[in-house]
């Protein structure tokens, strides 16, 4: 079968190659899924068009995927062939560290994700194996897709659950407060929806000039009360005036991860306010952070989700309280993966769904 794989060491950016690999062999405790939909994530984008010159096989990529169970090992009792499922993309955890003890498996320091870490294949292919070792430790590594949710919606659960956990589980947002969200990708757009569900009054989305055409209108459709183009406007002043003054912003969710967004977040948030940092940036900081102390601001690091995020986000999705469809801008065959990555890179796309389109 064909598979889109990343080559090079785990620490390297790049390189993608479409390769032929054998179908997975199902062990006694494993589950094999036929992938029906796989989404391109921002985490996949950082390797796109980066050639690290390495021929060392890393893993088949694609950590956001859903499909049908087509094979279960002889010792598997929790799952059966024919179930529609979505993986939370854990592939390996230790089961005994402080994070694992509290069910926070994606924060296990030994964690390897399917389709993200090395040695554990993901969904940019036809069949994906969920290892029995993870299902033995973490029973919620796999979820049955509730009725009414289709494969492409289920494939996007990863950013939904991230946004859910960032705001509903990590912040202390109260109904009636205002939220500013940096970053117009899926994490930002799902954050808009979760902030709305949590009762935020003003939800201001901050993006760039390149977001004005496609992403800003979707953000407003999904619940943003205003959008701010950081390339053209004074972000801090504009966000404060949109929310009602200097002390009006209690929570900033930074899904952009750029240094400038954190700096502006610290500046705009009210005393005792919170900043949840969801996005990633790789450049060192070059500005003073005394205001974090002066204003008693809490900066909360965010990573991943837990089973509570999954259970509740699936319920919200099933009951139409979270919308995915307006964000799925491209549906392509795996053979067109480069078109999908290109559309993500030039911001024409919000979410791209890939389906396996090679003959048997
Ligand atoms: Zn992802
Ligand atoms: Zn652990």
Q: Where are the domains of the chain?
A: 2-156+324-355, 160-301
Pairing of strands 31-39, 351-355: antiparallel
Ligand of minimum distance to the alpha carbon of 39: 1
Distance from Cα 325 to the centre of ligand 1, integer Å: 17
Distance from Cα 284 to the centre of ligand 1, integer Å: 24
Per residue in 287-329, pLDDT tens? 999 999 999 999 999 999 999 999 999 999 999 999 999 999 9
pLDDT band at 14; cut points 50, 70, 90: confident
Distance from Cα 295 to the centre of ligand 1, integer Å: 33
Distance from Cα 104 to the centre of ligand 2, integer Å: 8
Would you say 300 and 171 are in contact if contact means Cβ atoms under 8 Å apart?
yes
Q: Is the dihedral of CA 302, 293, 195, 193 positive or negative?
A: negative
Residue 274, pLDDT above cutoff 90: yes
CATH class of 2-156+324-355: alpha beta
Q: In sequence order, what are the beta bridge partners of 6?
A: 16, 59
Ligand of minimum distance to the alpha carbon of 102: 2
Ligand of minimum distance to the alpha carbon of 158: 1
Per residue in 221-269, pLDDT tens? 999 999 999 999 999 999 999 999 999 999 999 999 999 999 999 999 9
Ligand of minimum distance to the alpha carbon of 106: 2
Ligand of minimum distance to the alpha carbon of 134: 2
Per residue in 153-200, pLDDT tens? 999 999 999 999 999 999 999 999 999 999 999 999 999 999 999 999
Distance separating alpha carbons of residues 25 and 205, to the nearest angstrom: 46
In the structure encoding, which two tokens stand for residue 204, read together? 């201001």
Would you say 149 and 313 are in contact if contact means Cβ atoms under 8 Å apart?
no
Give the residue from 67, 68, 117, 62 showing the smallest Cα distance to 92: 117
Give the residue from 124, 129, 224, 143 showing the smallest Cα distance to 183: 224
pLDDT at res. 9: 85
Torsion angle defined by CA atoms of residues 55, 57, 59 and 60, in that order, rounded to the nearest 10 degrees: 70
Give the residue from 149, 68, 200, 181 showing the smallest Cα distance to 313: 149
Q: What are phi and psi of 320, to 5 degrees?
A: 70, 20
Distance from Cα 76 to the centre of ligand 2, integer Å: 23
3-state secondary structure of 133: helix
Q: In sequence order, what are the beta bridge partners of 65?
A: 38
pLDDT at res. 322: 98
Please tell me the total number of residues recorded for the chain in this structure.
360
Ligand of minimum distance to the alpha carbon of 190: 1
Distance from Cα 43 to the centre of ligand 1, integer Å: 6
Q: What are phi and psi of 323, to 5 degrees?
A: -110, 135
Ligand of minimum distance to the alpha carbon of 159: 1
Distance from Cα 162 to the centre of ligand 1, integer Å: 9
Average pLDDT over residues 278-284: 92
Ligand of minimum distance to the alpha carbon of 98: 2
Distance from Cα 347 to the centre of ligand 1, integer Å: 17
195-226 burial, b if ≥16 CB within 10 A, otherwise e?
bbbbebebbbbbbbeebbeebbebbeebbbbb
Distance from Cα 234 to the centre of ligand 1, integer Å: 31
3-state secondary structure of 173: coil
Residue 169, CA distances (Å) to 97, 179, 290, 351 in order: 21, 15, 27, 24
Distance from Cα 224 to the centre of ligand 2, integer Å: 37
Would you say 24 and 71 are in contact if contact means Cβ atoms under 8 Å apart?
no
Ligand of minimum distance to the alpha carbon of 108: 2
Ligand of minimum distance to the alpha carbon of 46: 1
Distance separating alpha carbons of residues 183 and 224, to the nearest angstrom: 12
Would you say 261 and 182 are in contact if contact means Cβ atoms under 8 Å apart?
yes
Ligand of minimum distance to the alpha carbon of 160: 1
3-state secondary structure of 284: coil
In the structure encoding, which two tokens stand for residue 207, read together? 């993006």
Q: Tell me if domain 2-156+324-355 and domain 160-301 are identical in fold.
A: no
Q: Which CATH architecture has domain 160-301?
A: 3-Layer(aba) Sandwich (3.40)
Residue 360, pLDDT above cutoff 80: no
pLDDT at res. 11: 80
Distance separating alpha carbons of residues 237 and 245, to the nearest angstrom: 9
pLDDT at res. 262: 96
Residues with beta carbon < 5 A to ion ligand 1? 41, 64, 158
pLDDT band at 357; cut points 50, 70, 90: very high
pLDDT at res. 10: 80
């Amino acid at each position: 079968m064909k598979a889109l794989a990343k080559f090079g060491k785990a620490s390297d950016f790049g390189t993608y190659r479409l390769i032929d690999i054998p179908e997975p062999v199902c062990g006694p405790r494993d589950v094999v899924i036929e992938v029906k939909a796989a989404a391109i994530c921002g985490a996949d984008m950082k390797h796109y068009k980066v050639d690290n010159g390495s021929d060392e096989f890393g893993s088949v990529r694609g950590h956001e995927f859903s499909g049908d169970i087509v094979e279960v090992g002889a010792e598997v009792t929790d799952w059966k062939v024919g179930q529609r499922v979505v993986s939370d993309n854990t592939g390996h955890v230790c089961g005994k560290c402080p994070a694992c003890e509290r069910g926070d498996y994606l924060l296990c320091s030994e964690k390897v994700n399917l389709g993200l870490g090395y040695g554990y294949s993901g969904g940019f292919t036809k069949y994906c194996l969920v290892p029995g070792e993870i299902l033995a430790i973490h029973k919620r590594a796999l979820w049955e897709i509730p009725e009414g949710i289709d494969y492409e919606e289920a494939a996007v659960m990863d950013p939904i659950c991230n946004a859910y956990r960032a705001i509903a589980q990590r912040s202390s947002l109260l109904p009636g407060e205002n939220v500013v969200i940096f970053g117009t990708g899926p994490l930002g757009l799902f954050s808009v929806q979760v902030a709305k569900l949590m009762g935020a009054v003003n939800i201001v989305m901050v993006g760039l000039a390149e977001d004005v055409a496609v992403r800003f209108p979707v953000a407003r459709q999904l619940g943003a009360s205003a959008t701010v183009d950081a390339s053209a406007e004074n972000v801090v002043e504009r966000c404060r005036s949109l929310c009602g003054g200097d002390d009006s912003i209690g929570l900033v969710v930074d899904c952009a991860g750029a240094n400038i967004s954190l700096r502006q977040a610290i500046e705009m948030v009210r005393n005792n306010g919170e900043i949840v940092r969801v996005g990633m940036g790789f450049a060192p900081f070059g500005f003073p952070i005394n205001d974090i102390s002066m204003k008693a601001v809490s900066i909360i690091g965010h990573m991943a989700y837990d089973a509570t995020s999954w259970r509740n986000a699936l319920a919200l999705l099933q009951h139409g309280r979270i919308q995915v469809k307006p964000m799925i801008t491209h549906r392509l065959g795996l053979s067109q993966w480069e078109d999908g990555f290109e559309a993500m890179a030039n911001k024409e796309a919000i979410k791209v769904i890939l389906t396996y389109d090679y003959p048997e």
